[in-house]
Amino acid sequence: MPQGPALTSPEAGPLNGKPFCPDTTRDVGRGAGGFPVRHSLWGILLAVPLTAFGQGKEAKAPKPTVAAEKTAPGAPGVNWEGQVLRATGVGAPDLKASNPGQARLGAERIAKRSAVQNLMDQAGRLHISAGRTVADELARDDVRKRVEAAMGGYKVVARRFFSDSGVEIDVEVPLSALTASLFAPPAADTVIAINGAGAKKYTGLVVDARGLGVQPVLAPRLLDDSGKALYGAAALASERRAATAVAAWFQSLDAAKKASLVGDKPLVVKAKGSKGSDLVLASEDAKALVEANTRFLAEGRVVIVTQ
C-alpha cells in the first residue's frame, strides 16, 4: 500500500527526509463527478487537536509549545499595593489562515482586543469613592472614550503560545492612567494646599486605618475633625497626575512602612474614624500633618493600611 506524504513540525524536524509544508495541498479522495477533493494540510493539522484528539478519552486543552516570555506578576484584577490593574486576553487561531504564522498573528490581535475589554470590565468594578464606581462614570461617552484610551496603553507582561496557534497575553495598566482619565484637574478653589515650608523631615505618609472596615477606593480623602480636606486627588501636582494614583492600599502596617512609595522616613498617622470612604485623622496627627513640610503629598506618596 503506498504511504502518504511525510509530515513534520518545526519542533520535531523532517520525517522520512521530507520537509514540512503546511500550505501544500494533496488529493484526499474523489468527490461528486469524480473530481479530486483537495484540502490544505495546514487546515488538517489545525483540525487535529480540535477534533480527533478530543474523541474517546476526555479531551485535553492545548498545551503551550514554548515557555512564556515572562512569568505573570499576579492574577487578573487590581493590585492596590502595586497600583496596577491586570487582565488576561485570549485569542483563538484562525483556521482559515494560510499558515501557522498568520494564524498566530491573528490570534494575538484577538487576544489584545480581549485584554482591553477585560481591563474595562475590571476597571468598571472599582470604587472611586463610597457608593460610586468607575462603571457609573463610564455611562458618560466622554469618560468612556478617555478610559478606553487609557486601557489601550497597557503593557504586555507575559505571553503564552499554544499548540493550536492560540495565544494568551497578560497585560497591566497603572492605576494612575485610570485615575488621570477619570478626574479632571481641580478648580482653583478646590485645590488642597500643600505646606512646602520648613525642613523636609518626612518622605511620605502612612495612614493607619485598621479596625475601621474601610475598603480600597481610587479617590480617598483625609479629613480633620472639622471636615476640612487635608489630602485627596485635588492635592496632586498636575505633573504627577498621570504618574501616580492617589494612594496605595496595604494590609500590613510593617509592609506599608517599608514601601518604596513612602521612602525611608514616612510620617505615620492614625485615622480615628471614617465618613464613607473619607478618613478622619486623630486631632494630634492632623496637626502634625498640617505643620510638616508635606510636599510629598503633591507626589502621591501615601499608603493607607486597612488590616
pLDDT digits (tens, 9 = 90+) for 27-80: 444 444 444 444 444 444 444 444 443 444 444 445 444 333 333 446 789 999
- List 205's β-bridge partners, or say none: 267, 302
SS3 225: coil
Q: Is 110 left (phi over 0), alpha (psi -120 to 50) or beta?
A: alpha
According to the model, what pLDDT value does residue 81 have? 96
Helix (H) or strand (E) holding 101: helix 100-124
CA distance linking residue 189 with residue 150, whole number of Å: 28
pLDDT in tens, the chain (307 residues): 444 444 434 434 444 433 333 443 444 444 444 444 444 444 444 444 444 434 444 444 454 443 333 334 467 899 999 999 999 999 999 888 999 899 999 999 999 999 999 999 999 999 999 999 999 999 999 999 999 999 999 999 999 999 999 999 999 999 999 999 999 888 877 889 899 998 999 999 999 999 999 999 999 999 999 999 999 999 999 899 989 999 999 999 999 999 999 999 999 999 999 999 999 999 999 999 999 999 999 999 999 999 8
**Residue with cell string 503560545:** 161
Q: List 161's β-bridge partners, or say none.
A: 167
Report the alpha-carbon distance of residue 285 to residue 4 in Å, rounded. Answer: 82
How far, in Å, CA of 292 to CA of 303, rounded? 17
Strand, coil or helix: 261 = helix
Could you tell me if 135 and 182 are in contact, meaning their C-beta atoms sit under 8 angstroms apart? Answer: no
175-182 vs 141-151: helix axis angle to the nearest 10? 160
The four Cα atoms 197, 199, 203, 206 give a dihedral, to 10 degrees, of -70
Q: What pLDDT, on a 0 to 100 scale, did the predictor assign at position 187?
A: 82
Q: Please state the separation of Cα 36 from the chain's center in Å.
A: 51
Query: Which residues contact residue 178 at a Cβ distance below 8 angstroms, ignoring those fewer than 6 apart?
Result: 85, 123, 126, 134, 147, 150, 151, 218, 245
Query: pTM score, two decimals?
Result: 0.75
How is residue 214 written as a grid cell?
474601610
- CA distances to 135, 137, 234, 247 from 143, rounded to whole Å, are 10, 7, 19, 22
